[in-house]
Structure 1
Amino acid sequence: MLMNGILVLAALGALGACFGLGSFSSLAFLWQLPLLFAGLWLGLVLLAFLFLVLWCLPISLDQPVEADSKADRRVLYLYEELALTLLQVKIHTTGLEKLPQEGRFLLVCNHLSLLDPLILHIYTKKSQLAFISKRENDQLFIVNKLMHKTLCQPINRENDREALKTILKCVDILEQDKASIAVFPEGYTSRTGHLQPFRNGVFKIAQRAKVPIVVCTLRGTAPIFRNAAHLRRTHVYLDLLEVLPASQLKGPTKDIGDYVFAAMAQNLGDPMPDTDHS
């Protein structure tokens, strides 16, 4: 949506400038029109990002957020769509009709790229996803502030006690109907592109909050930046595999993790590991 507005304004501005310069009375418009359009497009993109910086300036990471900010979430969605458009990402989806239209849920997905949350956000807008994110993301310029305002929860992956506090906070967010929770159960971005062992403790969130688990996979996000640098389009595939009802989420979290891991691995074409991934 934001990119469409930028394109329209750049086109109108270029046409207006050409009329004002009298370029259409000669062949000069053949080079002036595209040059003006490109300049105006670049200027408007830069202005858009300047607006984002100014929007985020008043946001304090030290001030607790107890409710999802609709305004900040709308801004986040607009700029996520702009970023993916600039990076020439084409997204193909299957199974989104299974996404719960009412009530909260825990969404789990494999993790290949820093851009994975953007894609999941765009296709689950009504669900108000709040991501569990590594603490290091709190240092990301601008992004950290929008994450903070949309109830994203930092997790200490190296401290089980601190991680449990994050899990309990996510349970509270679900029970209070503030947002749905999204998490990458691998805990880290896969360096090999293959599914990595799960940290099954995240499934306690769904068990304690008594919400369903939405199982998704992503393919193709790893080379987005590399392809964009070479002006190549990237095709990304988002598959919603199934929704596990809350009533079926009983027993050890390892059993849930094993089931979800197998479903993802089958979809991704990954071999099942011989070792325990509890």
Structure 2
Amino acid sequence: MNLKQISIAVYATYLTNKYGFKLKKAKTFQEKRELRVDYSETLLSKLNINIKVLNEEKLPKEGKYLLIANHRSIIDPLIIEIALKNSPIHGFWVSKKELYNSFFFGSFTKNADSILLDREASNMSSFFSDTKKVVQKGHSIFIFPEGTRNKTDKQISSFKEGAKLIALKNRIDILPVFIKTNANEILKEAIEKRTKNLEIEIEIGDLIDYKDKTSLEALYKKQFNIK
């Protein structure tokens, strides 16, 4: 790593933990939501990355949903937070246990409204109980149905079945969003070259009925014309 890369890494670590502390002190869901957006805008601004939202008018004006998105970079949650900042939708992120234990993300993840997903658990009853509590309080759930970051050359990798099950169990429709730009490539350029005025496009899709029996991956691909 060169000096610029080290500088960005140190700043990102500082900022993430700073906001993790602020989130811990926050007393309302609205306050946490505002902090999440502020954090996202601050870090992406430092990286000279702008977010362009396509079909923003499709964002629901009310209700609770299962938001699904493709996943290629560590900044994907920030992109989504900014895309939703003018929407009333507040969601709890489904977060892996590894993030809870991370030095970089741990404090932020634990305090930013999230649902712990322990893939090593003997059963998932606790996880689904947590999702139910969140939805009953009027909140949405955000998840990357690929399960982990897509490091292939394809636009998306295979979806796990668990995402659709969350929607079915909670009877909430699905809000698909698609990060069209390869955010991981943009992030690398931002860190390695410090390029100015980088842009990432994210597209809002049409709601999917939770009762639709078509595979979630097929529905997602059709909406965004993914081959």
Q: 1:260 and 1:52, CA in 2 relative to 1: closer, same or farther beyond 3 A?
A: same
1:274 is matched with none
Do structure 1's residue 245 and structure 2's residue 205 form an aligned pair? no
C-alpha distance after superposition, 1:201-260 (max 9, x if no partner): 2112212222110011112211233211201143211011211134xx254xxx332433
Q: 1:72 and 1:123, CA in 2 relative to 1: closer, same or farther beyond 3 A?
A: same
Q: Matched residues in 2 for 1:123 and 1:258: separation?
A: 22
- The secondary structure found in structure 1 opposite 2:207 is strand
1:157 is matched with 119
Do structure 1's residue 260 and structure 2's residue 219 form an aligned pair? yes
By relative contact order (CA 8 Å, sep 6+), the higher-ranking structure is 2
> 5+ unaligned residues in a row in structure 1: which ranges?
1-41, 272-278
Q: 1:92 and 1:171, CA in 2 relative to 1: closer, same or farther beyond 3 A?
A: same
Q: Matched residues in 2 for 1:84 and 1:202: separation?
A: 28
Name the amino acid aligned to 1:114. I
Cα RMSD (Å) of the superposition?
3.0
Q: Matched residues in 2 for 1:127 and 1:263: separation?
A: 24
2:92 is matched with 130
1:107 pairs, out of 67, 71, 95, with 67
1:95 is matched with 55
Q: Matched residues in 1 for 2:212 and 2:45: separation?
A: 41
1:56 pairs, out of 21, 31, 35, with 21
Structure 1 stretches (4+) deviating beyond 4 angstroms? 49-52
2:3 is matched with none
Q: 1:85 and 1:50, CA in 2 relative to 1: closer, same or farther beyond 3 A?
A: closer
1:210 pairs, out of 137, 154, 171, with 171
Query: Which structure 2 residues correspond to residues 1-278 of structure 1 after superposition, within 5 A?
Result: 53=18, 56=21, 59=24, 69-125=29-85, 126-141=88-103, 143-159=105-121, 161-162=123-124, 164-177=125-138, 179-194=139-154, 195-218=156-179, 219-228=181-190, 229-233=192-196, 234-246=198-210, 249-251=211-213, 255-263=214-222, 266-267=224-225, 269=226, 271=227
Q: Matched residues in 1 for 2:51 and 2:120: separation?
A: 34
**Length, aligned pairs only:** 210
- The secondary structure found in structure 2 opposite 1:181 is strand
Shift of 1:142: 6.3
Q: Matched residues in 1 for 2:73 and 2:94: separation?
A: 15
Kept in 1, the 8 Å contact 2:23–2:32? The answer is no
Q: Matched residues in 2 for 1:167 and 1:159: separation?
A: 12
- The secondary structure found in structure 2 opposite 1:242 is coil
Shift of 1:51: 11
Shift of 1:263: 2.4
Q: Matched residues in 2 for 1:183 and 1:56: separation?
A: 24
Which structure has more helix as a fraction of its residues? 1
Kept in 2, the 8 Å contact 1:134–1:154? The answer is yes
Name the amino acid aligned to 1:232. T
Shift of 1:132: 0.6
Kept in 2, the 8 Å contact 1:68–1:150? The answer is no
Under a length normalisation based on structure 2, what TM-score does the superposition of the two structures give? 0.79
- The secondary structure found in structure 2 opposite 1:186 is coil
Name the amino acid aligned to 1:180. S
- The secondary structure found in structure 2 opposite 1:215 is strand
Instruction: Give me the identity figure in percent.
Output: 21
C-alpha distance after superposition, 1:147-197 (max 9, x if no partner): 3233211212344614x43233113211221x2111010101001142111
Name the amino acid aligned to 2:101. Q
